Structure formats: structure tokens, C-alpha cells
Amino acid sequence: MSRPPKSDPAFEITFFESVHRRCPSYAEVIELLGGLYTKTGRISDGLRMDRKLVKLQPTNATAHYNLACSFALSNRPLDALDTLRVAYKLGYTDHEWMRQDPDLASLKTDAQFLKILADVKAAAKGAKPKRR
């Protein structure tokens, strides 16, 4: 039985950057690039893509959640908390992921974060989780 090929983030970034240059409003590519940049430590590039996606899809709760993660990773806790509130108001409900998401580690003991987490958990009853 053969194993699936390992992903190559550098190749994927190069590929999706070329698609993005040709189609700068392709939301799925912007989201993928944001995740790839963040995964490879290119936090400011991930933040740029997450901001762009939120501009293109202002009612996308998951896009706002990902932007909050980028703010947290960029040491911008107030922006992260404000953006998490927006994600929650837009319908983000994956409290389990939010609770353990390493991107939000810097916020885990913040009282405001704990309040948002409690609100998300309360709203999650019967809702289907969404995340990157």
C-alpha cells in the first residue's frame, strides 16, 4: 500500500500565489494562502490574506475567526478579541476548536476571551462547527 505524498508548503504557496496574481479576488485561494502563510511562519502575509478575505466576504464568520487568529499571532490582542466578537456575531460556533486553537494561545487566560468562548459555546447548541 503506498502512502499519500507529503504536502510541500513551499510548492503550494508558489502555485497559489501564481493563481492569486491571475485571479486576485478568488476567495478560496486567498483563504488557502492565508493558512499556508501562517503555517509556515509568514504571519504578516497570513494577516494580509485574512484581511483581504474579510474585505471580499464581510459576512463570512470563519474568515473573521481566521483574521482574529492572525491578529493574535501578530501580538494584537485587542484586535483579535474585537474580531472574535465579530466572528461570533456572524455565527461562528466551533467553541471546541476555539478553546484549543494554538493560534489563540496568547489569549487563553484573558477574561474577554473566556467570555467570548462562553458565548460561542452557548450559541453552539445544535449548530454545525466551521473552521479553517
Domain boundaries along the sequence of the chain: 9-123
Residues 79-109: tens digit of each pLDDT: 999 999 999 999 999 999 999 999 999 999 9
Which of the residue ranges 12-16, 96-100, 125-129 would you say has the lowest mean pLDDT?
125-129
Residue 129, pLDDT > 50, answer no
Three cell numbers written together for 15: 502555485
126 or 43, higher pLDDT: 43
Contacts (Cβ under 8 Å, ≥6 apart) of 71: 47, 77, 79, 80, 83
- pLDDT value of position 124: 86
Three cell numbers written together for 52: 483581504
Domain 9-123 is in which class?
mainly alpha
Contacts (Cβ under 8 Å, ≥6 apart) of 29: 16, 19, 20, 23
Question: pTM of the predicted model, to two decimals?
Answer: 0.88
Nearest-angstrom CA–CA distance, 35 and 19: 15
